């Protein structure tokens, strides 16, 4: 037996929760592994070895805290998945790793890197004949262990080498199709992961707004709210996020619900802001993602909120709404959120020369990931028929049911002083996107008046830009 044949099939870097669970996943599928974690005296010592001893799946894995020995233990072409913090930490690690690699080796970045940074690294490593794949991973620690959703971009030649293994380790979606796919060159995989997280932000905010509305309608009875959401979970509204919300509301501590013991300040990471920025950069209205992000910013203003609540007194009005209407509007808002996210992916095809198909993405997101839902499985089928969610039967059905209920929703929230930024954004997008005539003419006239930006007259077949008559006076 040759020395090379004794080496491992895969190397995984970073033995945090995600890295450890993905390692266990790979090992349970029969792959031989080398696992590595950095050495930091007094803080991170023998981490890989400790994880190997802790989990039976890793008993045959080779554990390292010497990077050179780790690299040497992997068969060529080496296949290495990196699961460490994106940004500067990844850059520093790559500086140490790359000199140890050989032509044809494959690095897979499984962190939440910005897709533009992935593109830079991909370009740099191509010059060294080293493959680089950006792999968006969704599903949290449980997904990493049981089967995540994997969104992959970069060198197609490299993907062909690793595809079988990654597909085997991934979740299985519609009709058993792997929730793993090559999406395009450069940063395509990480871009799609950014959009996934933008949809996730809005989905979480929508549920939180519904919770707030139910707290008002059901007079703070969390038991009743929990049971209501649990019933929604058994309907077409089913989703992973709705399911865990229902579970969260069951927990009690010292005769009080644990949810009441959590500070009302929600953290953010880079992907939420990146998703919002992506819509802005491509000129597409991703208003629900932006609203969800800003809602978190506002939640973080806790001291200011507390102070302002003592200075400014707003009076509640009288209004009522049925729980049935809340559910109808919730379902409609989710469709609009998903529409905005998928349209961003469609626009990215034009901007970056990708060919990311929406039905493929819907399958990737049907299992294994944080935004998996019954709706996603429906979209996977419908995208084969219609290119836009707003044209689908599922949207038309929800529209006919929801249209008469929007006034009740908006009036109730306004009267009872309940902020609903994502629900309001859904309504504003719907009515704005479906109006034949917008107020854009006035905006453009204002721009021309103060800055000579020009206007396009109606029925101008040549699309000739002119200035308005006010320019002669300026």
Q: Are strands 131-138 and 149-154 parallel, antiparallel or unpaired?
A: antiparallel
Determine how many CB atoms are found less than 10 A away from the CB of residue 281: 11
DSSP 312-356: -----------HHHHHHHHHHHHHHHHHHHHHHHHHHHHHHT---
157 noted as active-site residue: no
As a whole number of angstroms, the distance between CA 137 and CA 128 comes to 26
Angle subtended at Cα 102 by Cα 101 and Cα 105, rounded to the nearest 5 degrees = 80
- Please name every residue paired with 35 in a beta bridge, in sequence order, or none if there are none: 12, 63
Cα dihedral 280, 281, 282, 283, rounded to 10, equals 40
DSSP 78: P
**Residue 355 CB-half CA count within 13 A:** 0
Cβ pair 37, 15 in contact under 8 A = yes
Residue 189, phi-psi category: left (phi > 0), alpha (psi -120 to 50), beta (remainder): alpha
Helical ranges in 78-129 per DSSP H:
88-97, 115-126
DSSP state of 301: -
- Write the DSSP assignment of 51-69 as a string of letters: HHHH-GGGTTSEEES-HHH
193 is catalytic: yes
Q: Using the Cα atoms of residue 340, residue 345, residue 348 and residue 349 in order, give the sign of their dihedral.
A: negative
Q: Which residue among the candidates 57, 65, 200, 203 is catalytic per the annotation?
A: 200
Residue the block writes with tokens 């296949």: 79
Of 177, 193, 325, 377, the catalytic one is 193
Q: Which residues are catalytic?
A: 193, 200
């Amino acid at each position: 037996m040759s020395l090379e044949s004794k080496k491992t099939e895969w190397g995984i870097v970073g033995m945090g929760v995600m890295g450890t669970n993905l390692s266990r996943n790979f090992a349970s599928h029969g792959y031989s592994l080398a696992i590595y974690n950095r050495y930091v005296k007094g803080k991170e010592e023998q981490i890989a070895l400790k994880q190997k001893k802790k989990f039976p799946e890793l008993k045959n894995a080779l554990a390292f805290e010497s990077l050179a020995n780790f690299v040497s233990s992997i068969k060529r072409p080496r296949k290495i998945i990196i699961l460490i913090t994106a940004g500067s930490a990844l850059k520093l690690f790559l500086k140490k790793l790359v000199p140890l690699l050989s032509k044809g080796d494959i690095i897979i970045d499984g962190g939440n890197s910005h897709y533009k940074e992935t593109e830079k690294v991909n370009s740099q490593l191509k010059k060294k004949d080293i493959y680089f794949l950006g792999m968006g991973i969704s599903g949290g620690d449980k997904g990493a262990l049981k089967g995540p959703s994997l969104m992959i971009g970069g060198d197609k030649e490299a993907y062909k080498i690793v595809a079988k293994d990654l597909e085997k380790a991934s979740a299985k979606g519609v009709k058993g199709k792997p929730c793993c796919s090559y999406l395009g060159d450069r940063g395509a995989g990480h871009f799609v992961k950014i959009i996934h997280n933008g949809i996730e932000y809005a989905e979480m905010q929508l549920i939180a707004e519904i919770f707030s509305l139910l707290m008002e309608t059901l007079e703070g009875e969390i038991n009743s709210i929990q049971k209501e959401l649990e019933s929604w979970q058994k309907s077409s509204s089913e989703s992973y996020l709705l399911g865990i919300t229902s579970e969260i509301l069951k927990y009690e501590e010292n005769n009080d619900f644990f949810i009441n013991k959590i500070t009302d300040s929600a953290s953010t990471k880079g992907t939420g802001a990146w998703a919002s920025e992506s819509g802005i950069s491509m000129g597409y209205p991703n208003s629900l993602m932006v609203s969800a992000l800003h809602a978190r910013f506002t939640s973080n203003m806790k001291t200011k909120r507390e102070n302002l609540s003592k200075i400014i007194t707003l009076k509640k009005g009288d209004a009522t709404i049925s729980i049935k209407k809340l559910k109808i509007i919730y379902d409609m808002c989710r469709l609009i959120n998903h529409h905005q996210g998928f349209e961003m992916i469609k626009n990215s095809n034009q901007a970056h020369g990708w060919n990311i198909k929406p039905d493929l993405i819907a399958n990737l997101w049907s299992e294994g990931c944080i935004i998996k839902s019954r709706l996603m499985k429906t979209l996977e089928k419908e995208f084969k028929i219609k290119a836009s969610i707003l044209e689908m039967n599922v949207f038309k059905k929800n529209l006919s049911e929801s249209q008469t209920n929007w006034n009740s929703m908006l009036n109730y929230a306004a009267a009872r002083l309940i902020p609903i930024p994502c629900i309001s954004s859904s309504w504003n997008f719907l009515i704005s996107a479906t109006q034949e005539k917008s107020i854009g003419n006035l905006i453009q006239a204002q721009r021309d008046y103060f800055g000579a930006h020009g206007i396009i007259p109606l029925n101008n077949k040549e699309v000739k830009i002119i200035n308005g008559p006010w320019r002669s006076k300026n």
